[in-house]
Chains A and B, each alone.
Chain A
Amino acid sequence: MIRSKRPSASRWAAKIAVAAIATTAFFSLPAETQAQQPTLTFSAIPNQDETHLLDRFNKIAAYLSKELGVQVKYVPMKSYAAAVTSFRNNHVQLAWFGGMTGVQARIVVPGSVAIVQGEEDPKFVSYMIANSATRLKEMKTLDNSIRGKTFTFGSKASTSGRLMPEYFLRQHYKEYPEKVFSRVGFSGDHTKTIELVESGAYDIGVVDYTVYNAAVKNGKVDTKKVSIIWTSPPYPDYNWSIRGDVEKTFGPGFIKKVQDAFLKMKDPELLSAFPRKSFIAASNKDFQIVEDNARKLKLLD
């Protein structure tokens, strides 16, 4: 039985709506074929606040466009998951991922490859930072002084803000972080983690060391209130990954061209935005350890 029907007064509105939807559908379907000049769309995991990222990646878009001779567009993402999903759905073809999201993305998009990483990325570390009110001292290795405190990770899918620190914590304490700390949260991104620890909302947090160092350098964090109490062992992290099927659209050898464009990026202004000293070549197997750890933590099936 029909249960609802539009009021007759808006019957015309209804017809127009149908027409509008049909029109939209009509126009959006051939959008792919419409674009005679294919655009390379790229994105990045939102590991820091957004205005910062927008500024950074629009410059990169201009640079890549010049180097590659194709249109390049940056689209911002609201979450780590959205970045991976967009890559998977071919809404973006190239992305600046963390170690973990890169692994996720390359698993769900067969044929995709990690092409470049920062010079710092093969030996990346996380900082554990603490609010000064906790009076925690810097420790060489993890110890029991941090037990019972409140603790925040960054994003749930962050390598430096979750996966690797959780791995090291579990390895050391042999129990879940929820048992070690009195409360465990996820701030969402590194900037937010720093803020929350600085404000005292959480006693301790773990962050990407490049983001933290940059925040200190730019005076964005009050070092009287926050200090580093632990530095994690090194692990591989960020990377640029690209879909394998881009060569169908942009021609054979395109992946190599993109890789080269990054490798010869020397402009300190562009590089400092990441911040990285330079980019070096990378391959999927460089991130095997991240993948293995993710499986151990059951973050991957």
Chain B
Amino acid sequence: MSLISLTRETIGWKARDVLVDIDLHVEPGERIAFLGRSGSGKSTLITHLYRRLTAAGKAVSLIPQDHALVPPLSVFHNVYMGQLDRRSTFYSIANLIKPLKKEVGDIRPILSEISLEPEIFQSVEKLSGGQKQRTAIARAFFRGGEIILGDEPVSAIDEKQSARVLEAIRSRFQTALLALHNVDLARTYCDRIIGLKGNKIVIDAPAKSIERADIDSLYAA
């Protein structure tokens, strides 16, 4: 059964259609990269898919482009928020006042996986852009589930780190739908590449079979 099945669908904000008449089908287990110039509709598509999957009751994690972190809280608490629905209110309040051992024990390994462990009790507002992004990633990891959606999840991280993060995404989630800007990373870590341009899906092909020139045409004027 398809996870996502869009046929001749139009997606957009109130007055403006960002993507018109698109067809998109995603099967469980696929790793897809969305490529395109900024403004081509990647974010809109990711947000739309997130809403749709959540509404369908799927366990989805999201790494939004703006991170949507709570700056005054620590990295630990921001990550913990990934599982806020699975804890009792009282427990969560206690954990806010004093981080509980069990939760720290669960979150610490996730942070060390993406080299953020030393900052665990730093408040997010004091972090660099890359650290903030990794906090958002850790939150998605902690949340878990079958599917991960990422909107430029590694845009602020250097290449070596990015590779480790994407590797971790592969191993943690069955299905991944990622908007990326780095073509090489997309080709290395995803199986299928979807290119967006001019309100349309213009490329939809397996990563292996795709030519560099095709991709470059996405970014041409």
Contact = CB atoms under 8 A, between A and B. Distances in A.
A contacts B: CB pair < 8 Å: yes
Interface of A: 8-9, 11
A8 B97 CA distance: 9
Interface residues of B, number: 4
B16 to A, nearest CB: 34
B73 interface: yes
Contacts of B97: 11
B96 interface: yes
Contacts of A11: 97
Closest 4 CB pairs of A and B: A8-B72, A11-B97, A8-B96, A8-B73
A11 B77 CA distance: 16
Interface of B: 72-73, 96-97
Contacts of B96: 8
5 contacts: A8-B72, A8-B73, A8-B96, A9-B72, A11-B97
A220 B52 CA distance: 88
Question: A-side binding surface: helix, strand, loop or mixed?
Answer: helix
A82 to B, nearest CB: 43
Contacts of A9: 72
A6 B72 CA distance: 13
A11 B72 CA distance: 13
Nearest to B73: A8
Nearest to A8: B72
Nearest to B77: A8
Nearest to A15: B97
A98 B193 CA distance: 96
A8 B73 CA distance: 9
Contacts of A8: 72-73, 96
Contacts of B73: 8
Nearest to A11: B97
A44 B97 CA distance: 52
A91 B73 CA distance: 49
A8 B123 CA distance: 12
A210 B97 CA distance: 66
A8 B96 CA distance: 9
Contacts of B72: 8-9
Nearest to A9: B72
Nearest to B72: A8
B94 to A, nearest CB: 12
B123 to A, nearest CB: 10
Nearest to B96: A8
A78 to B, nearest CB: 43
